[in-house]
Amino acid sequence: MQTKYDTILVLDFGGQYCHLIGRRIREHGVYSEIVPPDITPDKIRSMSREFNIKGIILSGGPSSVYEPNAPRIDAGILELNLPVLGLCYGHQLIAQMCKGKVEPAACREYGVSYVEIDKPVGVLAGLSSREKVWMSHGDTVFSLPPEFEVLAHTESCPVAAFRHKTKPIYGLQWHPEVVHTENGTLMLRNFIFEVCGCTANWQMEDLITKMINELRTEVGNAKAIIGLSGGIDSSVATALAAQALNDRLTAVFVDHGFMREGEPEAIREAFKKFKINFVVANAQQRFLEKLKGVVDPEAKRKIIGEEFIRVFEEIAEKVGAEYLIQGTIYPDRIESGFRKHSDKIKTHHNVAGLPAKIKFKKILEPLRDLYKDEVRRVAKMLGLPREIVSRQPFPGPGLAVRIIGELTEEKVRIAKKADTIVREEIERGGLEDNLWQYFAVLTDTKATGVKGDARAYGYVVAVRAAESREAMTASFAKIPYPILERISTRITNEIPEVTRVVYDITHKPPATIEWE
């Protein structure tokens, strides 16, 4: 019989970090389910047949609690006698529902902030009097009724954390799930184990078995193809699908021409050892033609998403495959804005970039709920080779989203060269293991320079290197100047069309990692 896991429900108000809460809980060996915010108390009671529900977290979200259509919860949820923790929007919502005062903040706080902990109890047990936290809010809780007590404040936020005096109800204005909250792990651990009394009885292996079984059940005796870009996600999805389907699986590598230098060869080499049908689709010309004259980044992503599917459909017809498997992971979906209350950040090629009509019976996405570092853990458990496990992520649309403006053969050539130089110098400096991604962006700005005593007017290349754990947030990397200097010198010397190199010093948020 399957174990009834101790479970925390996360009510999803559309916050960018909502799913991150789920995975942070999983990291502690406790299962979590993300559910819509309009879930009823009865539904929660009925879920108890399958899960041992021990607590509820209300996520953050882009709305304001006082907007007419702001998402809310059934008041009965606060009466279920289950511990509740509200984060950001969730914190404001509990305050408002309990007759507290929530208003626009005099001073909005985005990014790192410091809170004064007034009472280190409950969720805040073990914290010091001043804590570094990650805030991202435009509204603030200004006061609460007497049955609540304030646990923390900042200069501009008088109720940064609270708890109910007699019930296990807590609110935090900040995001403990984001790594930039220094003691976020401790805060969540306090909630999961001390406040909710969970036992850690869930593990990653359970998920691998679940994913393989799901693929087997869905595909039955039919055939499937999988888009294999050589990145970690599609490689892991391929390894899982290979276990589920064996030779009923065909892996397709689409060479759309926006790959890094040497990439198609590297993929062929890495997957030589796998016992799968492997097809390379040479589609450079058709992608470039479709993208001629297209400048808008979202239009580019949509065209690429559609063309990928058309190539897959053609190959599926040849091999008789009815299903398409993709290595889509959670952040791809969240940024594509697939949830009811979340904002669209960008159209990931394999999610919202998909055309409305497709010839497949179904698209299967076994990794849809995982983050990149969880995928890496699964890769290790599946015994995938190091060159795949440790590859830096590469977006499906490739250099097309790193070349701003219209794509031309000249720009693709320049971007490839610049990218190779960045990769070589970062790796020569031994920095790659600590970086999430490092690459070059060919901007559509031109700048004046002087080369060999003559005026030059050429492209501006931006270098981007980011540190991150799961791509939901990222910090620009503090690359040593000598390495940046080598990169800049080599790019301007080896690529005559480039006159200037700049370094991108923006975190995510507010920027995204890719430029488009």
Active site residues: 88, 175, 177
In the complex, least distance from residue 487 CB atom to ligand XMP, rounded to whole angstroms: 19
Of the candidate spans 154-162, 388-396, 451-459, 487-495, the one that interacts with ligand XMP by CB under 6 A turns out to be: 388-396
| Residue closer to ligand XMP (CB basis): 140 or 229 | 229
In the complex, least distance from residue 329 CB atom to ligand XMP, rounded to whole angstroms: 8
In the complex, least distance from residue 328 CB atom to ligand XMP, rounded to whole angstroms: 8
| Residue closer to ligand XMP (CB basis): 417 or 508 | 508
Contacts of 245 by beta carbon, 8 Å cutoff, 6+ apart: 215, 216, 219, 223, 224
In this structure, what token pair is assigned to residue 76?
Answer: 């009965």
177 touches ligand XMP (CB under 6 A): no
| Euclidean distance between CA atoms 311 and 291, whole angstroms | 15
In this structure, what token pair is assigned to residue 95?
Answer: 């305050």
Answer yes or no: are the C-beta atoms of 434 and 293 closer than 8 Å.
no
Answer yes or no: are the C-beta atoms of 88 and 62 closer than 8 Å.
no
306 touches ligand XMP (CB under 6 A): no
Using CB under 6 A as the binding rule, the residues of this chain from 426 to 485 that contact ligand XMP are 437, 471
> What are 249's strand-pairing partners?
224
Decide: helix, strand or coil at residue 458: strand
DSSP class of residue 303 equals: H
In the complex, least distance from residue 246 CB atom to ligand XMP, rounded to whole angstroms: 26
Answer yes or no: are the C-beta atoms of 400 and 300 closer than 8 Å.
yes
| Euclidean distance between CA atoms 390 and 370, whole angstroms | 17
Of the candidate spans 91-99, 108-116, 217-225, 395-403, the one that interacts with ligand XMP by CB under 6 A turns out to be: 395-403
| Residue closer to ligand XMP (CB basis): 39 or 334 | 334
Which string of DSSP letters, residue by residue, matches 88-132?
A: THHHHHHHHHTT-EEEEEEEEEEEEEEEEES---GGGTT--SEEE
| Residue closer to ligand XMP (CB basis): 248 or 346 | 346
189 touches ligand XMP (CB under 6 A): no
In the complex, least distance from residue 340 CB atom to ligand XMP, rounded to whole angstroms: 20
| Euclidean distance between CA atoms 126 and 256, whole angstroms | 53
Contacts of 68 by beta carbon, 8 Å cutoff, 6+ apart: none
Decide: helix, strand or coil at residue 463: strand
| Residue closer to ligand XMP (CB basis): 367 or 460 | 367
Q: How many residues sit in the footprint of ligand XMP (CB under 6 A)? A: 18
In the complex, least distance from residue 229 CB atom to ligand XMP, rounded to whole angstroms: 7
In this structure, what token pair is assigned to residue 4?
Answer: 């009834």
| Residue closer to ligand XMP (CB basis): 89 or 394 | 394
Per-residue contact string for residues 487-516; x = within reach of ligand XMP by CB under 6 A: ---------------------x---xxx--
| Residue closer to ligand XMP (CB basis): 170 or 394 | 394
| Euclidean distance between CA atoms 126 and 84, whole angstroms | 20
335 touches ligand XMP (CB under 6 A): yes
Per-residue contact string for residues 340-379; x = within reach of ligand XMP by CB under 6 A: ------x-xxx-----------------------------
Integer-rounded Cα Rg, in Å, for the chain is 25
Per-residue contact string for residues 11-40; x = within reach of ligand XMP by CB under 6 A: ------------------------------
Burial class from Cβ neighbours inside 10 Å (0-12, 13-18, 19+) for residue 331 reads: buried
Which residue in the set 396, 460, 462, 463 belongs to the binding site for ligand XMP (CB under 6 A)?
396
In the complex, least distance from residue 416 CB atom to ligand XMP, rounded to whole angstroms: 16
55 touches ligand XMP (CB under 6 A): no
Answer yes or no: are the C-beta atoms of 440 and 463 closer than 8 Å.
yes
Q: Tokens 């190959």 map to which residue?
A: 315
| Residue closer to ligand XMP (CB basis): 322 or 504 | 504
Which residue in the set 22, 395, 398, 458 belongs to the binding site for ligand XMP (CB under 6 A)?
395
Decide: helix, strand or coil at residue 31: strand
In the complex, least distance from residue 393 CB atom to ligand XMP, rounded to whole angstroms: 4
| Euclidean distance between CA atoms 360 and 372, whole angstroms | 26
N residues, the chain? 516
In the complex, least distance from residue 491 CB atom to ligand XMP, rounded to whole angstroms: 21
How many CB atoms are closer than 10 A to CB 509?
14
| Residue closer to ligand XMP (CB basis): 271 or 436 | 436
Query: Torsion angle, CA of 57/59/63/67, rounded to 10 degrees?
Result: 0
Q: Which residues bind ligand XMP (CB under 6 A)?
A: 301, 331-332, 335, 346, 348-350, 393, 395-397, 437, 471, 508, 512-514
